[in-house]
Amino acid sequence: MEGTKLIQQFTKRWQSLRALEAVLYGIGAGICVGLTTQNIVWGMLLFCVVAVVALVIIRPWQLSNEKSSRYIDDHLNTAEYSSSLLLTPAVGLSGLAQLQREKITTRLASEIKHVKPQTKLKKAILAAAVLALIGVLMSVFYTMGIASNTPNAAEEPLIVFQATDSVVPAYEPPVVLHQKVMIAYPAYTQMATNSSSDLNVKVVEGTRLSWKLGFNQPVREVRLEGLGEKDVIMTSQKNGNPNEYVTQSMIPQASGYYNVRFTDSLGAQYVSDLYSVEVVKDKAPTIEIKDIPQFTSFDFDDDKVLNFTAEMVDDFGLKTTFIIATVSKGAGESVKFREEKLAFDQKLVQGSKKARLSKNIRLDELKMELGDELYFYVEVQDQKTPIPNSTRSETFFAVIKDTVSDGFGVEGTMGADLMPDYFRSQRQLIIDTEKLISERNQIPLQEFKSRSNELGFDQKALRLKYGKFMGDEADSGIAVTPDIEETDFDPDDPTANYRHDHDSENEHNLVEEHHDEHEHEGEEDEEDKSGFEAYMHDHDNPEESTLFTASLKGKLKNAMAQMWDAELYLRLAEPEKSLPYQYKALKLIQEIKNSARIYVHRIGFDPPPIKEEKRLSGDLDEIDNFYKQQDMNDKSMYAAMQESVTILEKRLTEGSRITAKDRVVFAQAGKELAALAIEEPSKHLKTLQELSWLTEEKPQPIVVLESVRQGLLQALPDVDANPVVRHQYRGALEKAFIQELKSQ
């Protein structure tokens, strides 16, 4: 038992040393990162991570008593390679083995402490030392960098004031010890409130600003000038340091420049340099519609579905988005509109800066019918408060084609509704014919022929209605012919009574006889034709009695011919052959409808009638000359800047001092220059600062005057030259000649 305990103790010591290696690696990494980042949390975190990773790699728990026994046999000669007997129960050993076991136990008790387990402690200690040294060096460099970048009390960018009085005070004026601008962004921007010692700020519109200044001695008043129509007066803290002044919170509405002015306890005033406040507008969201054309049309049998994707982006986050869809029904004065607000198939995550949403619009779900139109656009709003920015996409169109629709035509100068309701019957005939063809194999043959014959009758009725517009007097639209004997017809032919048989001999004979009877009459009529008959519109002639113009007459006759052939094949129970003629007739009807136009007579100026009794009489008593007097106010936008340049040139030439009147002009010029400085602050800010110095009652060096003059000249825009009267030089002889002409 004693020998077994000795081996177990050796194993535990070996495991502890291997675990110490992993801890040393973690300590070195933790010290390096902690000193480099100056953050103990990061150091502890990296220590844990590196130590765990090292333990997983080294795996000290895999060291067992058997492995320790083999290691002792290899490194201790006195063990005689018999230490494994210490791990074997004594009950099963022979007498000689038991004697050897007792012998090895005695030797291990005194010599096992000299056996050193195999470890890499030196390597782990060296690595930890190197990492710790790196951390120390990085920490030193970091500290030196902060020290070099951190200005001391004398080097801080504090406000520099200049006395407005030309007399230098005999006492030490107040100075600013510290300054700060608190910036509170709007809540919807999700930007944290921060502060800055730099008085030049750039913020989002709606941001609330407040300034805080600390002086080394009491002052009477502190104010901010230029942030609005009125100066912002800073108030003194009552609970804290009385020499610290803070402003009431304000929200700048536009970009601009401001300066700080304070009055000390003795009444002397001091003014600072100019600082900028730049207000950045919250951009409206952008939206882009993809995967859909601007205009989409569907046939009646199509799957009327619109699929599209909308990609939306905003700088501070999206709030809502929806689709505005407008359905138009009807035409002309009977048109009706219905507007609906649709949602996308996915839900918009409020506050996300980017979104990609898709939508499937089914026109059938919007209860759209033939001829109906759909207009839709996507609108998106951001999270700006109180009024969000809104953007809408371009409008997209979708229409369900209507092959035939009512129209309005005009003949001459009179409006007439030439497109009656039954014009849609041809479309219905096509639909019924296609339905009959699809059901051919599902219905009895007798029913199929009967339905085809009924469609032929409907086609005939439609053709006769169109024949009325052509001026046909007969039911069939063809001239009346004498009765034909029944022997000429086949009694077994079911279509004999309905068709126009061109194969019959009697048909051609009757036509020839009819032609011969009227041939001579036609010759006599031509001889007796009146000269006015060529200009008459004969309503008794079917070719002339149409309600349509001559350009539409041919199309309508062609359409009726197509209807005739379509009727023929329907009577013969061959609707497949009839269908192409029906489509041709329908197309011609469409062209007739689209050919109708409305013309509006142009109305010109109709002057009042001239009184003949006063015409050419020469009486001008009631005629007066026209006089107009107008003051042309051509005041330049930069008149004060131009006047300031003139004043500065005069003061530099004469060497005189700036007067109070000049300061007023300089102040006005500063306002004009400030508008330009907002566009280009780096170019005009120095001139604007020096111009503000000239408004103070304090003498300025000539260098400042020249710098301001040069800056104003560069800021003034180029002005087009005004027209002037140029006097041409004339010689003495020419002047004498002109004077002589004037005297005569």
Write the CB contacts of 262 (distance below 8 Å, at least 6 apart in sequence): 161, 174, 215, 219, 220, 221, 222, 223, 269, 270
Identify the burial level of 483 via C-beta atoms within 10 angstroms of its C-beta, where 0-12 means exposed, 13-18 middle and 19 or more buried: exposed
Backbone angles phi, psi at 269, to 5 degrees: -110, 145
Annotate 119-163 with three-state secondary structure.
CCHHHHHHHHHHHHHHHHHHHHHHHHHHHHHCCCCCCCCCCCEEE
pLDDT for position 333: 54
pLDDT at residue number 90: 62
What are the phi and psi torsion angles at 720 (to 5°)?
A: -65, 145
Amino acid at 552: L
Task: Write out pLDDT tens, residues 201-244.
Answer: 889 988 999 888 888 888 888 888 888 778 888 887 765 566 67
Contact 163, 268 (CB under 8 A): yes
Q: How far does the chain reach from its first CA to its final CA, in angstroms?
A: 157
DSSP 158: -
For 495-533, letters b (16+ CB in 10 Å) and e give eeebeeeeeeeeeeeeeeeeeeeeeeeeeeeeeeeeeee
* Strand residues in 127-174 grouped as ranges (E): 161-163
Q: Give all strands (DSSP E) within 9-126, no chain letters.
A: none
* Exposure class string for 70-102: b at 16+ Cβ within 10 A, else e: ebbbeebeebeebbbbbeeeeeeeeeeeeeebe
Q: H or E stretch including 404?
A: none
| pTM, 2 dp | 0.44
Q: Are 652 and 666 in contact (CB under 8 A)?
A: no
What's the confidence (pLDDT) of residue 583? Answer: 92
Q: For the chain, what is the radius of gyration of the CA atoms?
A: 53
Judge whether 274 and 686 are in contact, CB under 8 Å: no
User: What residue ranges do the domains of the chain occupy?
Assistant: 2-145, 161-280, 286-400, 409-483+497-502+541-595, 639-715
pLDDT at 437: 92
Looking at domain 161-280, its CATH class is mainly beta
93 close to 101: Cβ distance less than 8 angstroms: yes
Between β-strands 286-290 and 208-215, what pairing exists: parallel, antiparallel or unpaired? unpaired
Q: Which residues contact 677 (CB under 8 A, 6 or more apart)?
A: 257, 683, 684, 685, 688
pLDDT attached to residue 527: 45
Cis peptide before 609 (omega within 30 of 0): no
Q: CA angle at residue 28 from 23 to 31, to 5 degrees?
A: 120
Q: Which residue do the tokens 């004009």 mark?
A: 672
pLDDT at site 167 = 66
Report the distance separating Cα 204 and Cα 224, nearest Å. 20
Given a contact cutoff of 8 angstroms between Cβ atoms, the answer to whether 71 and 118 are in contact is: yes
Q: Hey, what amino acid is at 158?
A: L
In contact, 337 and 344? CB cutoff 8 Å: no
157 three-state secondary structure: coil
Distance of CA 341 to the CA centre of its chain: 20
Amino acid at residue number 486: E
Tell me which residue of 691, 417, 448, 362 sits closest to 547, measured CA to CA.
Answer: 417
> For the stretch 112-133, what's the b/e string if a residue is b when 16 or more beta carbons lie within 10 angstroms of its beta carbon?
beebebebeeeebeebbeebbe
DSSP secondary structure code for residue 250 in this structure: B
Predicted pLDDT at 355 = 93
Helical axes 2-37 vs 40-58, angle rounded to 10°: 140
Q: Is 691 exposed, middle or buried (0-12, 13-18, 19+ CB in 10 A)?
A: buried
**CA–CA dist 54, 423 (Å, integer):** 91
Q: Which residues of the chain carry a pLDDT beneath 70?
A: 1-3, 75, 77-95, 97-98, 100-101, 107, 109-110, 142-157, 166-168, 238-243, 248, 331-334, 403-425, 469-551, 594-606, 630-635, 681-682, 719-730, 744
CB atoms within 10 A of CB 62: 9
Three-state DSSP class for 537? coil
Say if domain 286-400 classifies as CATH 2.20.28.
Answer: no
SS3 for 205-231 is CCCEEEEEEEECCCEEEEEEECCCCCC
pLDDT at res. 686: 82
